[in-house]
Amino acid sequence: QQPVQSPQAVILREGEDAVINCSSSKALYSVHWYRQKHGEAPVFLMILLKGGEQKGHDKISASFNEKKQQSSLYLTASQLSYSGTYFCGTELGHGSSNTGKLIFGQGTTLQVKP
């Protein structure tokens, strides 16, 4: 039931782009994305509800393909501050509503070098 993230780790130079993928074996109600810095709590990036929407703010965006049960997080023109571990969280649906059970993937470690 735990979503699968790929890749497990990414090393970038400043200004480069990255894509982090998240896939589930079950139909999803929503997908969350969070970033966690070492020693800190996870911080919310965005949530995508079923409907195949795409969201973004600044140079970070995400897509959600409901049929494929997949979501991708896009980081463009990466900055040093983007370093951290990225987690996708998936929530299953129950009819037209959500179950309330938000399960996270194992994380993708992103390191941005100068």
Partner 1 sequence: NAGVTQTPKFQVLKTGQSMTLQCAQDMNHEYMSWYRQDPGMGLRLIHYSVGAGITDQGEVPNGYNVSRSTTEDFPLRLLSAAPSQTSVYFCASRGQEHTGELFFGEGSRLTVL
Q: Which residues bind partner 1 (CB under 8 A)?
A: 1-2, 30, 32, 34, 40-44, 47, 49, 87, 89, 98, 100-107
- Least distance from partner 1 to the Cβ atom of residue 106, Å: 4
User: Nearer to partner 1 by C-beta: 95 or 114?
Assistant: 95
- Least distance from partner 1 to the Cβ atom of residue 114, Å: 27
- Least distance from partner 1 to the Cβ atom of residue 42, Å: 5
Three-class secondary structure of residue 95 per DSSP: coil
- Least distance from partner 1 to the Cβ atom of residue 4, Å: 11
User: Nearer to partner 1 by C-beta: 2 or 79?
Assistant: 2
Question: Within 10 Å of residue 35's Cβ, how many Cβ atoms?
Answer: 20
Query: Distance between CA 64 and CA 57 in Å, rounded?
Result: 15
Cβ partners under 8 Å of residue 90, min gap 6: 3, 22, 24, 28, 30, 31, 32, 71, 102, 103, 104, 105
Q: 46, 93, 51: which is closest to 74 by C-alpha? A: 46
User: Nearer to partner 1 by C-beta: 26 or 80?
Assistant: 26
Give 50's DSSP letter: T
User: Nearer to partner 1 by C-beta: 38 or 67?
Assistant: 38
